[in-house]
């Protein structure tokens, strides 16, 4: 919520506005079955590929399915959240934002609706990945509290990536550029502890893999689901997610104001 909202729009109507724009973005997603299918099918295909094709050749010291599921979940979340940039760029390019500005709706709802829709969409994708993993033999040792904490970390990660993606979508001039801007978001999980332990990597790459933002999130989710200690990774993961969310929202809001200041 921005100061402009509180001055020109009754605060009591903000939840209604947020819900309306979020619902619009979710319906828009459902009307694009190709994008929806890709968002659900790609994580499942990657899970099958890594477990049945590469898993037998990778030694992680534990069952590879249990090791790789958290990484696949975070990778699918990165892929889905990155689509937020394309959706935001599309709205800016096609003029729907100008139409929103002519309606009695809070301006902050435009970006918030995209971020919340991304969160809902990617949590649904996460459920699909866990369901397929369970069919393949994934048996986590997590308690109910640990499951709730793991889902909370995943949701916080999706929120962070969605916020950054919204800013990149505002920065991009079109949908193609927005898709290119989010490439690094999709690349990070591959150079982390998602698929192989970092200590198996070359020395020059190991340092990056161990200290980049995605690794502590994966280690936290993995530790919670397998019932092992998460150590300090949980604090680091939350810190990274909060920092990325704050930077993304501030940057997206500033860019939105600049592009609509006329």
> 14 or 81: which carries more pLDDT confidence?
81
Per-residue confidence (pLDDT) for residue 53, from 0 to 100: 87
Per-residue confidence (pLDDT) for residue 134, from 0 to 100: 92
Determine the Cα–Cα distance for residues 64 and 6; give it in Å rounded to an integer: 51
Average of per-residue pLDDT across 238-245:
94
> 36 or 130: which carries more pLDDT confidence?
130
Percent of the chain whose pLDDT exceeds 70:
86
Over residues 144-202, the pLDDT tens digits come to 999 999 999 999 999 999 899 888 888 887 777 877 778 777 788 889 988 988 988 99
- CA dihedral in degrees (208, 165, 112, 27; nearest 10)? -120
Helix (H, G, I), strand (E, B) or coil at 137: coil
Determine the Cα–Cα distance for residues 22 and 38; give it in Å rounded to an integer: 21
Structure-block tokens of residue 75 = 């990778």
Per-residue confidence (pLDDT) for residue 7, from 0 to 100: 40
Average of per-residue pLDDT across 202-214:
91
Residue 216: band (very low, low, confident or very high) from pLDDT cuts 50, 70, 90: very high
Over residues 60-69, the pLDDT tens digits come to 878 889 899 9
């Amino acid at each position: 919520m921005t100061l402009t909202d509180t001055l020109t729009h009754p605060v009591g109507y903000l939840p209604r506005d947020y819900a309306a724009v979020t619902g619009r973005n979710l319906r828009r997603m459902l009307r694009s079955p190709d994008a929806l299918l890709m968002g659900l099918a790609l994580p499942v295909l990657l899970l099958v590929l890594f477990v049945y094709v590469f898993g037998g050749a990778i030694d992680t010291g534990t069952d590879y399915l249990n090791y790789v599921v958290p990484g696949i979940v975070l990778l699918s979340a990165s892929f889905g959240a990155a689509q937020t940039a394309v959706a935001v760029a599309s709205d800016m390019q096609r003029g729907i934002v100008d139409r929103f500005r002519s309606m009695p709706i809070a301006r902050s709802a435009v970006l918030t609706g995209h971020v919340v829709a991304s969160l809902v969409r990617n949590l649904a994708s996460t459920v699909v990945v866990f369901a397929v993993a369970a069919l393949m033999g994934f048996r986590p040792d997590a308690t109910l509290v640990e499951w709730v904490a793991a889902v909370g970390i995943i949701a916080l990660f999706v929120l962070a990536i969605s916020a950054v993606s919204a800013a990149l979508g505002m920065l991009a001039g079109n949908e193609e550029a927005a898709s290119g801007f989010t490439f690094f978001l999709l690349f990070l999980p591959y150079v982390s502890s998602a698929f192989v332990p970092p200590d198996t990597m070359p020395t020059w790459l190991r340092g990056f893999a161990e200290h980049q933002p995605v690794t502590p999130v994966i280690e936290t989710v993995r530790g919670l689901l397998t019932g092992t200690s998460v150590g300090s990774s949980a604090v680091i993961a939350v810190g990274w997610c909060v920092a990325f969310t704050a930077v993304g929202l501030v940057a997206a809001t500033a860019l939105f104001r600049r592009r609509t200041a006329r």
